[in-house]
Amino acid sequence: MGETSMRVTVWGENIHDRTDERVRAIYPQGMHETIAGALREALGPGATVRTATLDQPDHGLTDAVLESTDVLTWWGHAGHHLVSDEVVANVQRRVLSGMGLLVLHSGHLSRPFVRLMGTSCSLRWREADDREVVWTVNPGHPIAAGIPQAFVIPQQEMYGEYFDIPQPDELVLISSFSGGEVFRSGCCFMRGSGRIFYFSPGHEHFPVYDHPIVQRIIANGVRWAAASARTHYVTTQCFESPTGWFEHLGAER
Amino acid sequence: MGETSMRVTVWGENIHDRTDERVRAIYPQGMHETIAGALREALGPGATVRTATLDQPDHGLTDAVLESTDVLTWWGHAGHHLVSDEVVANVQRRVLSGMGLLVLHSGHLSRPFVRLMGTSCSLRWREADDREVVWTVNPGHPIAAGIPQAFVIPQQEMYGEYFDIPQPDELVLISSFSGGEVFRSGCCFMRGSGRIFYFSPGHEHFPVYDHPIVQRIIANGVRWAAASARTHYVTTQCFESPTGWFEHLGAER
Amino acid sequence: MGETSMRVTVWGENIHDRTDERVRAIYPQGMHETIAGALREALGPGATVRTATLDQPDHGLTDAVLESTDVLTWWGHAGHHLVSDEVVANVQRRVLSGMGLLVLHSGHLSRPFVRLMGTSCSLRWREADDREVVWTVNPGHPIAAGIPQAFVIPQQEMYGEYFDIPQPDELVLISSFSGGEVFRSGCCFMRGSGRIFYFSPGHEHFPVYDHPIVQRIIANGVRWAAASARTHYVTTQCFESPTGWFEHLGAER
Amino acid sequence: MGETSMRVTVWGENIHDRTDERVRAIYPQGMHETIAGALREALGPGATVRTATLDQPDHGLTDAVLESTDVLTWWGHAGHHLVSDEVVANVQRRVLSGMGLLVLHSGHLSRPFVRLMGTSCSLRWREADDREVVWTVNPGHPIAAGIPQAFVIPQQEMYGEYFDIPQPDELVLISSFSGGEVFRSGCCFMRGSGRIFYFSPGHEHFPVYDHPIVQRIIANGVRWAAASARTHYVTTQCFESPTGWFEHLGAER
């Protein structure tokens, strides 16, 4: 992140948000607007936060939007299969080139996340009324800044292990559920020049995105994902490199 | 790996091997036969080693072959784009379910490897006559067993950083080249229940696969990749899991 | 580990085991004998398992014993401060040179473990009657071989986060407790040429070491820790190295 | 790091700097003053940079100094054994509680670094006139910000593998030497709530700390090490924790 404003795009599938009365009652403007509003408040004037949704042209993620996005957050569920190949490839390419990506809750099966992980990203789940306790296992991590050692989400969908992801580069949060399950609920991955944070709390039938600590974690995650270095050279192509090619490279001004 | 025989499939693209006189002179039976022969000698009667090539039906990698393969080795270059979607998906699925995968040299751009990594897997290269020195940076790793601290490959194609892979779960080897470049030349990745070893030495124009230490590293890599546990439950699908579902699970007999 | 027999030394502090009636009732021969017996049965004739205790000369860990030990298991609690500087230094040195180390339960504060980790290794605890559920989060790991996705220990001391350890090189098990806590209960660390496995279940007031799955995990851990490569060169000293020193190194015969 | 000024303490052993004519010619005020001056220029008014040396009371690292230090940089060589047990313990404790630590060149054998790593930290070395080429293998890492893919240090002491450290949490730089050796020259470790960066270039007989890219990496390293979260709870002690102790924890204001 340079000195300039951080540019965040909050992507929401916006299906349940429009069609499910329970969800509309909790998130009248859609989950993406709740998340975007929380980010605007947390990040302040140093950030520009916009939203994009599945039903927009290119799902709201045109090249121009992606190129001007420092961090993208992603919530999807029912419409994973409706996301186009082109947008998936473009999101992946942008992450490898340095864009941050926050993947929320059921986004574990979103096409960009599955593509970037290389695994099935499957897990165990239960729609009941489990209580989730979220534990910090990496207290010095920037995503844990200001977060208590443990906090309670009174009602949540259970997400449990085995979660088929590569071992996270940094594991920040682990959750327990009243049913006895555990889940790696806050996981950091570095891929190419980009940073990815998966954060599992967030079922659409509970007001999880209104929880102040959940909001703080998402804001911390956005700041963390924005802090990767901007490389001034291309890192995602092969280059034939004659002997001595590197002799006179200089630092970026 | 249980007490039974280890089953290895050595996959070779077999294009240069047939069409390029220089390669035919070094590897008259194809690189895959050289590699398979070295493995048969190193692994002994405890292993069954067969070969498969691109031009066979299903590239020689039918479901039956993959299901009866504990470790697959992969060399490809000119024909990456000719590998079918179905074989790529099946190899990925088998790795996540526990099959080992050794990716050799130009296989860094093979479709199964790129799919499993989630990154571009690009790198820098130079076809010249660099000398490569391969260094062990993880001497207790099983892949380093019996390998000297450093060994020399007199002539090699240069493969240099930046290599766009996820940070390896275990970094075993780093190479230097006479041109001054460095490369993470022996990288271990765990994905799902499977183990992946990328090993870069192996250009087709030099007799690298005849080098005794290179052969030993490949044999060590096959043993290491075969040593993941065989899970007796499915790890690549989502499961709805009612409260208490795990109460009476037992150990595998 | 070579083809020869695996040599295991089970170290027990043997204080509670002698002085606490509750512990004597559960482990009449001491916890170390229960663990040693389980290992003898699990590892079979391929392994030699002996015990050593704090009150023996050099705590039973003379140079001769350590030099002939492939894997050392360690249970201590009340007597951590009684372990001599010399034994601590020798255990550390042997681990860096390739000896495996299993650290059990309250051994998290043992001097060799704290020395090898470089952190405080502190945690949260509660002696109550929590139920512990142990989850596998790395199903392909050799330590998870034959272990169910989850298993229950009916009564346990609670060990909870934050556990002040370096991020494990491989995280295999996570536990939940009925009080809501979570704990990284099965953690692998590679240090030098040695492998370390910390496994938390095992309070002295409950018959945890009689649990068949706990026994299996400990046996798996011993096998895993024994599988590091034996280096034929010294890795724990600095060497002045003239130009070209590595030119003629060969593989180990 | 909060909004307030970053407080950096540059520690120099200051032995060679005073007694070796060659070193005095290159670093007339001592290496610590060269490093401190470069940091003042790079970090600007947002940082306070002071120095401390071995010969001062408590080596200049009193409790008051350590408590008011966000990042400590450490250069030592001839006087490692002269650093007091108390200062070693205090530096370790402060790192685990969140202080950043940059360990430079021969500081690989400094007592605080060895204590925090838990390994021997030994390596291979040669005082000759090797050319070192430093390669970025993690281009998105904040320490790589503005750094070219490779840069040349014309003359350097050779530091080569095997370097007996735990596998770094993040590997940022790898060097090659004209003699053919490689070295993991930029390594990040997270320990407790603190961040540690080991950076190997810097021999006292060459003007390495005057190199603009070396200076930039050190400044980047200080910024990175300062960016760990400040925890508002104690992470380095064991706590007995009654059932439900976490129910009403709140976020930090």
Where are the extended beta strands (E) located within A94-167? 100-104, 124-136, 150-160
Cβ distance C118 to D123 less than 8 Å, yes or no, reads: no
Closest partner residue to D98 (CB to CB) among A140, A148, A246 is: A140
Output the pLDDT for position C5.
86
Where are the extended beta strands (E) located within D137-236? 150-160, 170-177, 182-191, 194-199
At A75-111, the pLDDT tens digits run: 999 999 999 999 999 999 999 999 999 999 999 999 9
Residues of C in contact with D124 (CB under 8 A): 238-241
Task: Write out the residue range of the structural domain in which residue B164 sits.
Answer: 6-226
How many residues are present in chain A?
253
Q: Is residue D133 part of a domain?
A: yes
Cβ distance A174 to C170 less than 8 Å, yes or no, reads: no
Closest partner residue to B213 (CB to CB) among C133, C148, C251 is: C251
Identify the three-state secondary structure at position A100: strand
Q: How far A228 CA sits from the closest chain C CA (Å)?
A: 21
How many residues are present in chain D?
253
Q: Distance between CA D42 and CA A11 in Å, rounded?
A: 37
At A146-161, the pLDDT tens digits run: 999 999 999 999 999 9
Output the pLDDT for position B253.
56
Q: How far D106 CA sits from the closest chain C CA (Å)?
A: 12
Cβ distance A96 to B119 less than 8 Å, yes or no, reads: yes
Q: How far A152 CA sits from the closest chain C CA (Å)?
A: 10
Mark D40-59 as b/e (b = at least 16 C-beta within 10 Å): bebbeeebbbbbbbbeeeeb
Structural tokens at position B130: 């660099």
Cβ distance A246 to B191 less than 8 Å, yes or no, reads: no
Rounded mean pLDDT for each run of 10 residues along chain D, 253 residues in total: 76 94 94 97 96 98 97 97 98 97 98 98 96 97 96 96 98 98 98 98 92 97 93 93 91 68
Cβ distance C118 to D92 less than 8 Å, yes or no, reads: yes
Q: Contact C137/A161 with Cβ under 8 angstroms? A: yes
Band of the pLDDT at C73, cuts 50, 70, 90? very high
Residues of A in contact with C131 (CB under 8 A): 180
Output the pLDDT for position D250.
79
Smallest CA–CA distance from A123 into chain B, residue: B238
Q: Distance between CA D200 and CA D206 in Å, rounded?
A: 13
Q: Is residue B241 part of a domain?
A: no
Closest partner residue to A182 (CB to CB) among C162, C167, C174 is: C174
Residues 6+ apart with CB under 8 A from A132: A152, A153, A156, A158, A175, A176, A177, A185, A201
Q: What is the CB-side half-sphere exposure of residue B54 using CA atoms within 13 A?
A: 21
Q: Is residue D25 part of a domain?
A: yes
How many residues are present in chain B?
253
Count of other CB atoms within 10 angstroms of residue A22: 11
Q: Distance between CA D110 and CA D79 in Å, rounded?
A: 9
The two beta strands, D124-136 and C239-240, are parallel
Range of lowest pLDDT (A223-232, B80-89, C108-117, C138-147): A223-232
Smallest CA–CA distance from A162 into chain B, residue: B235
Q: Distance between CA D11 and CA A205 in Å, rounded?
A: 55
Q: Is residue C19 part of a domain?
A: yes
Cβ distance C228 to B140 less than 8 Å, yes or no, reads: yes
Q: Distance between CA D56 and CA D30 in Å, rounded?
A: 15
Cβ distance C241 to D190 less than 8 Å, yes or no, reads: no
The stretch C192-198 carries a mean pLDDT of 98
pTM of the model: 0.97
Structural tokens at position A224: 């963390």
Q: Contact D226/D72 with Cβ under 8 angstroms? A: no
Mean pLDDT, chain A, integer: 95
Per-residue DSSP letter, D40:
H
Structural tokens at position D163: 């370097």
Smallest CA–CA distance from A143 into chain D, residue: D229
Residues of B in contact with C229 (CB under 8 A): 139-146
Closest partner residue to D229 (CB to CB) among A144, A149, A152 is: A144
CATH of the domain at A31: 3.40.50.880
Cβ distance D249 to A139 less than 8 Å, yes or no, reads: no
Output the pLDDT for position C248.
84
Q: Is residue B39 part of a domain?
A: yes
Cβ distance D118 to C117 less than 8 Å, yes or no, reads: yes
The stretch B45-66 carries a mean pLDDT of 97
Smallest CA–CA distance from A181 into chain C, residue: C176
Identify the three-state secondary structure at position B80: helix
Residues 6+ apart with CB under 8 A from A150: A133, A134, A135, A136, C180, C181, D246, D249
Cβ distance A96 to B244 less than 8 Å, yes or no, reads: no
- Counting as contact any 3 or more CB pairs under 8 A, the partners of D are A, B, C
Q: How far D36 CA sits from the closest chain C CA (Å)?
A: 28
Output the pLDDT for position D2.
41
CA distances to A150, A172, A183, C177 from D250, in Å: 9, 18, 22, 22
Closest partner residue to D164 (CB to CB) among C120, C128, C192 is: C192
Cβ distance B171 to D174 less than 8 Å, yes or no, reads: no
ipTM: 0.95
Mean pLDDT, chain C, integer: 95
Say how far residue C205 (Cα) sits from the centre of its chain: 19
Q: Is residue A237 part of a domain?
A: no
Residues of C in contact with B251 (CB under 8 A): 146-148, 151, 212-213, 216
For an interface test with B, give the residue of C132, C149, C191 to mutate (most B CBs within 10 A): C149
Q: Distance between CA A101 and CA A195 in Å, rounded?
A: 6
- Provide the domain count of chain D: 1
Q: Distance between CA D15 and CA D26 in Å, rounded?
A: 14
Q: Contact A216/D113 with Cβ under 8 angstroms? A: no
Output the pLDDT for position A4.
60
Closest partner residue to B119 (CB to CB) among A160, A191, A239 is: A191
Residues of C in contact with D115 (CB under 8 A): 118
Output the pLDDT for position A96.
97
Q: Which residues in D have their CB inside 8 Å of a CB on C? A: 92, 96, 109, 115-120, 122-126, 128, 130, 158, 160, 162, 164, 166-167, 169, 179-181, 189-192, 235-244, 246
At C78-99, the pLDDT tens digits run: 999 999 999 999 999 999 999 9
Residues 6+ apart with CB under 8 A from B86: B58
Q: Distance between CA C219 and CA C216 in Å, rounded?
A: 5
Q: Is residue B234 part of a domain?
A: no
C–D CB contacts, 8 A cutoff, strictly below: 111
- Asked whether the predicted pLDDT for residue C1 surpasses 90, the reply is no
Closest partner residue to A148 (CB to CB) among D138, D169, D251 is: D251
* A44 phi/psi in degrees, rounded to 5: 70, -165
Q: How far A56 CA sits from the closest chain D CA (Å)?
A: 31
At B194-218, the pLDDT tens digits run: 999 999 999 889 999 999 999 999 9
Residues 6+ apart with CB under 8 A from C78: C13, C15, C16
Closest partner residue to C231 (CB to CB) among B140, B151, B169 is: B140
Output the pLDDT for position C2.
42
Closest partner residue to D235 (CB to CB) among A139, A169, A190 is: A139
Band of the pLDDT at A60, cuts 50, 70, 90? very high
Q: Is residue C169 part of a domain?
A: no
Say how far residue D77 (Cα) sits from the centre of its chain: 14
- Asked whether the predicted pLDDT for residue B3 surpasses 60, the reply is no
Closest partner residue to C135 (CB to CB) among A137, A149, A161 is: A161
Band of the pLDDT at C3, cuts 50, 70, 90? very low
Q: Contact C235/C140 with Cβ under 8 angstroms? A: no
Q: Contact B96/B236 with Cβ under 8 angstroms? A: yes
Q: How far B61 CA sits from the closest chain C CA (Å)?
A: 23
Q: How far C116 CA sits from the closest chain D CA (Å)?
A: 4
Q: Distance between CA D126 and CA C241 in Å, rounded?
A: 6
Q: Distance between CA A123 and CA D152 in Å, rounded?
A: 47
What helix, strand, coil percent values describe chain C, rounded to 5? 35, 30, 40
CA distances to B6, C145, C168, D77 from B2, in Å: 8, 10, 27, 51
Q: How far C230 CA sits from the closest chain B CA (Å)?
A: 6
Smallest CA–CA distance from D190 into chain A, residue: A140
Q: How far C194 CA sits from the closest chain A CA (Å)?
A: 21
At A170-197, the pLDDT tens digits run: 999 999 999 999 999 999 999 999 999 9
Structural tokens at position A25: 């009652």
